[in-house]
Structure 1
């Protein structure tokens, strides 16, 4: 299904969109790791635009971490270690 940036989604829709379970989405929320949400009464709602921004931020953070690991590994290569920092 195609969403517009101003669409509001429920937990089931977001879980399906992120290809994860509602349970994982709830755990992320309680740990402060998930996409931004709003609670309206007993309902937890997500803006589609917020989900896209959250994904983009995660992509950038993951790319930066990989870049740092690569730089660390390359520095070790100059010192003689041949173990990569990732598997």
Structure 2
């Protein structure tokens, strides 16, 4: 019989930070938690050109503006992206 055991948020935090330490990146990135993974997941979707409205739905946000802010996309980055399009 397979038993699935959930881990706590604190235990997940410990595992992530121990992994960062073993990988030698802990000092560079600082502490990492499950919320960091969630934001990174959203950002990576954005980098893969997934539509913001879909990312918004996946993350359960109520507005595209909140989603962009949440994943760290600034107004300057959005403006730069539009300006980079050659017509």
TM-score after normalising by structure 1: 0.36
* Greater length-normalized contact order (CA 8 Å, ≥ 6 residues apart): 1
Structure number having the greater helix percentage: 2
Higher strand proportion (structure 1 or 2): 1
TM score, norm. by length of structure 2: 0.36
